[in-house]
Copies of this chain bind each other. A is one copy, B any other.
Amino acid sequence: MAKSNDTGKIDISTEAKIKEAARTVFYRKGFAATRTRDIADEAGINLALLNYYFRSKQKLFEIIMIETLSGFVQNMLIVVNDEKTTLEKKISEIASRYIDLIIKEPEIPTFIVAEIRSNPNLLLEKLPVKKAMANSILSKQLQQAIAEGKITEPNPLHFLMNLMGLIIFPFIAKPLLMGGSDLNTPAFNKVIKERKQLIPIWIKAMMKAK
């Protein structure tokens, strides 16, 4: 439990400290390359406490993984199922929210991609992205736009690949595109922020292209 102490700062429980440290290290290095000692050092606690609170490295990892994935997907589902907004508004909302989210934690996309490779079947059945998309309000709005002839490409899977790719790919490919390892350089972030406005324009143009 977090509670304030007499310095006025927030007093974070040992359990929470370990979890936060685990998140940091797992995000940066992945499951296989992180050592439980790295997490203990990062948390400023003793190695034995990790097992006391979380039983094993694997259990701790799964907690981080589930929280990360569900946070990442839920973020989208909220926007995608809003009954009050137009298709165009949803697209710019998704672009804007994800870009802000990933700028804050730029390691998340590569973490998810890299770790799902090792764990493929375990968690994905619980996160039916495709099915959730197929039943969404956004999907209905897409179908309607197709029926009205406003869109030329009828496969929603292409739409999803394009939108997510335009948003997420630059972060994943940054080391290749820009060189260097720092995922949060100002020059890069400036270009990325431009994309909040550009992606909706691009997607609109793509959907009408033929």
Contacts and interface: CB of A to CB of B under 8 A. Distances in A.
Given A29-B118, A33-B118, 13 more contacts: A107-B117, A110-B114, A112-B176, A113-B113, A121-B180, A153-B198, A165-B170, A172-B172, A201-B210, A204-B209, A205-B206, A205-B208, A206-B206
Interface residues on A, range: 35 or more
A191 B157 CA distance: 8
A204 B206 CA distance: 9
A107 B117 CA distance: 9
Task: Name A's interface SS.
Answer: helix
Nearest to A33: B32
Interface string A186-204: 0000010011001001101
Contacts of A178: 130
Nearest to A161: B170
A179 interface: yes
Contact of A125 (B170, B179, B201): B179
Contacts of A33: 31-32, 118
A157 B164 CA distance: 18
28 contacts: A28-B117, A29-B117, A29-B118, A30-B114, A32-B32, A107-B117, A110-B113, A110-B114, A113-B173, A114-B117, A116-B176, A117-B175, A120-B180, A120-B181, A125-B179, A153-B198, A155-B194, A161-B177, A162-B166, A165-B173, A166-B166, A168-B169, A169-B172, A202-B209, A205-B205, A205-B206, A205-B208, A205-B209
A103 to B, nearest CB: 15
Query: Which 10 pairs, one residue from A and one from B, show the smallest C-beta to C-beta distance?
Result: A120-B181, A165-B169, A205-B209, A32-B33, A32-B32, A114-B114, A165-B165, A205-B205, A202-B206, A169-B169
